[in-house]
Structure 1
Amino acid sequence: MPDRNQAALNFLLTRRSRPAKTLTSPGPDRDTVHTILTAAARTPDHGKLEPWRFVVLSGTAMARAHDLVAKRGAALGHDAAKIEKEQLAYARSPMAVVVVESPIASEKVPAIEQTYSAGAVCLALLNAALASGWGANWLSGWASFDADFTRDAFGLASHESVAGIIHIGTETTAPPERPRPDLDAKTTWIET
């Protein structure tokens, strides 16, 4: 039998994202964020291309993103409720880590595998933040798909996109457990 890391397994079996609207200050310090990013970077990565990067927002950068959401939302003709919903995460959580998909031209590694790697980084980052004792939530939203917003708020190049935005902070309330998938309905066993 392989060695079992029961603490890690227990964490994975009980992990639960914390809604960004329930996060508040303080957020983690730079050393803690560095550890979280180090854990996130230990993700599957076919060809060792590292087709992703991080943009860490805190302090006035969060307020700037909040304001840019309003500006871009108005320019796109979104209604006030849609804009406000997008702004809330930047208004409440003290920090966000933007995982940027930054694909690398490769004959060996298909683009879709690079997308999967960026997504894996998002989940690893989320879990590392939660395992470190912080509240965390993986979000996207309409602004993260708007090229003007992502360029102005996060400095993305034209070939890059947002894989996810992980908001991190101190949780104010623990969320209730939610229904989980019916594994029997979602699993096919092929044994012969």
Structure 2
Amino acid sequence: MNALDLLLQRRSIPRLAEPAPSGQTLENILQAGLRAPDHGALTPWQFVVCEGEGLTRLSQILVEAAKADGADDTAIEKAKQAPFRAPMVIAVIARTRFHEKVPTIEQHISAGCATQAMQMAAVAQGFQGFWRTGTFAYHPVVRQALDVDGDDAIVGFLYLGTPDCAPANAPTRDTSKYVKYL
């Protein structure tokens, strides 16, 4: 698949199974993230790879957050199972710093670009993924557990693995509804 086809056919695949990317494949994914646009060369990202026991730890963190909110048993169980929707989850954190020419929002967007690049690198190497944010990304318990404070932000959780279902066709969208020319 060439780069343009990769971008034009991008789909999130919500059902993922073993194996997860590993070795050089995983390194390529992480390196792709590190090539995201980065105004000021601030490298405003951190990637927290969760697999195996890391998924169990992430599950525990989400359960702690759900309990802190007074969630019912159903919501707690859903939080507990969330990390296991894929054999690997990469939490992507925008690690911001003050820069007179690079506002915080640009650093967050850069981390978002890193997430997209990693998903595309996974697909280019035969894996699949989906990007979720959700309320847990903003939850104080989760932020504290992942050492996220101040203007730093969890921009998403990138779930990666082997597709366990056929992807739906990518919809064709009418650009005239989304594009304006000056």
User: TM-score with structure 2 length normalisation?
Assistant: 0.90
Report if aligned partners of 1:89, 1:167 keep a CA contact under 8 Å in 2: no
Shift of 1:158: 4.7
CA distance in 2, matches of 1:131, 1:86: 30
Shift of 1:38: 0.6
- The equivalent of 2:49 in structure 1 is 56
Residue 9 (structure 2) aligned to one of 14, 17, 28 = 14
Change (3 A) 1:7 1:97: same
Percentage of pairs with the same residue = 35
Residue 171 (structure 1) aligned to one of 145, 151, 163 = 163
**Structure 1 segment 14-163 matched on structure 2, within 5 A:** 14-19=9-14, 22-152=15-145, 154-163=146-155
Structure 1, unaligned stretches of length 5 or more?
Answer: 1-5
Report if aligned partners of 1:86, 1:142 keep a CA contact under 8 Å in 2: no
Rg larger in structure: 1
Shift of 1:179: 3.8
Structure 2, unaligned stretches of length 5 or more?
Answer: none
SS of aligned partner of 1:120: helix
CA distance in 2, matches of 1:15, 1:111: 28
Runs of 4 or more, structure 1, over 2 Å off, are 78-89, 154-160, 177-182
User: CA RMSD for the aligned pairs?
Assistant: 1.9
Report if aligned partners of 2:21, 2:122 keep a CA contact under 8 Å in 1: no
